[in-house]
Amino acid sequence: MTGPSHFESFESYIPVDLRSPEALLAAAGVVLFFVLFRYFLMVAPFWWAFYRRGVAPSRRIYARLPGRAEQLFEIKWSLVSGLVFAVFGVGLGVLWQLGWTRIYLRFDEFGWFYFFVIGPVLLLVLHDTYFYWTHRWLHLPSVYRRFHRVHHESLHPSPWASFSFHPVESAINAAAIPLIVLILPLHPVHILVHLTLMTVSAITNHLGFEVLPRSAAVHGWGNWVISGLHHAQHHRFFRWNYGLFFSVWDRMMKTEHPSFWAEFTQKLNSKTNVS
Ligand SMILES: [Zn+2]
Ligand SMILES: [Zn+2]
């Protein structure tokens, strides 16, 4: 019988004892580095391709791409968010070490169907639900003024806006995964893959270009999956399109912009820019 594989031991993910203050501080520094490194590493290729190389001009959503000052504003707030995310990342590690989470280590502990299908799908659904309702709350006028205005300063966001939040909003977003693993059994690999997917989604939602393939319009699945145009309408019109991954909640609660589908299909079929 062989021992646990590399991804099946606690030390593979957290090689230190987070109960010691020095280790906690060092871990926070490492997590902060990875959060920011990942932000720049993942946003930069999109920015370079769409903003510098000018690929897919017919997919551009705004008449004018955000300028340097707007992009720097978004980067500044994203750096602040990195700090908050690092604190919550380490906090999740502490909860895990204390045994308060339902994180499991053996891949097949709940069966392979759970590992490949049920776990990831439930994580997406719970996170999407959490995001939709906390986002609705952030749009209550008094809450909006204090905590959500920073994100909406970007009327036409760039991909750098992916993490551009007020620290309180960052904390609300960062609390999602730690709260979910209190109730849902997840493997650390689920969390790592989900965080990557979430970052890609945050980037494409703020890219200023619609990146879904034409089949999304032809076969109708673009009606369920959120991408650039859907979230661009949220920044343009404020009171519509609150979702993160899927538009199910927006459609159920009648908060999807009435012109979404018409604009979306027009965009995917158009050969020219739309203002
Ligand atoms: Zn909003
Ligand atoms: Zn946004």
Query: How remote is the CA of residue 231 from the centroid of ligand 2, in Å?
Result: 6
pLDDT in tens, 75-98: 999 999 999 999 999 999 999 999
* Structural contact between residues 18 and 93, judged by C-beta atoms closer than 8 angstroms: yes
Q: Quick one: which ligand is closest to 255's CA?
A: 1
Phi, psi at residue 65, to the nearest 5°? Answer: -75, 150
Query: How remote is the CA of residue 247 from the centroid of ligand 1, in Å?
Result: 14
Q: What is the mean pLDDT of the chain?
A: 93
Query: How remote is the CA of residue 205 from the centroid of ligand 2, in Å?
Result: 7
Query: How remote is the CA of residue 195 from the centroid of ligand 1, in Å?
Result: 20
Query: How remote is the CA of residue 213 from the centroid of ligand 2, in Å?
Result: 21
Alpha helices in the chain (DSSP H): 10-13, 21-47, 68-97, 112-113, 119-138, 141-143, 149-152, 167-174, 176-183, 188-205, 215-218, 228-237, 248-252, 260-269
Domain boundaries, the chain: 22-209
Query: How remote is the CA of residue 254 from the centroid of ligand 2, in Å?
Result: 19
Q: How far apart are CA 58 and CA 60, in angstroms?
A: 6
Query: How remote is the CA of residue 128 from the centroid of ligand 1, in Å?
Result: 14
Q: How far apart are CA 229 and CA 207, in angstroms?
A: 9
- What is the percent of the chain with per-residue pLDDT over 90, rounded to a whole number? 85
Query: How remote is the CA of residue 155 from the centroid of ligand 1, in Å?
Result: 11
Q: Quick one: which ligand is closest to 206's CA?
A: 2
pLDDT of residue 2: 56
**What Å distances lie between residue 66 and 163, 202, 205, CA to CA?**
16, 17, 15
Q: Quick one: which ligand is closest to 154's CA?
A: 2
pLDDT of residue 38: 93
In which residue are the tokens 């609390």 written? 175
Q: Quick one: which ligand is closest to 74's CA?
A: 2
Query: How remote is the CA of residue 99 from the centroid of ligand 2, in Å?
Result: 34
pLDDT of residue 271: 64
Q: Quick one: which ligand is closest to 239's CA?
A: 1
Query: How remote is the CA of residue 35 from the centroid of ligand 1, in Å?
Result: 23
Q: How far apart are CA 55 and CA 60, in angstroms?
A: 9
Enter the DSSP assignment of 268: H
Euclidean distance between the first and the last CA atom of the chain, given in angstroms as a whole number: 63
pLDDT of residue 91: 95
Query: How remote is the CA of residue 240 from the centroid of ligand 1, in Å?
Result: 9
| Residue partners of 246: CB distance under 8 A and separation at least 6 | 124, 128, 224, 225, 226
Nearest-10 crossing angle of helices 167-174, 176-183:
20
Q: Quick one: which ligand is closest to 241's CA?
A: 1
Please give the model's pTM, rounded to 2 decimal places: 0.93
pLDDT in tens, 130-162: 999 999 999 999 999 999 999 999 889 999 999
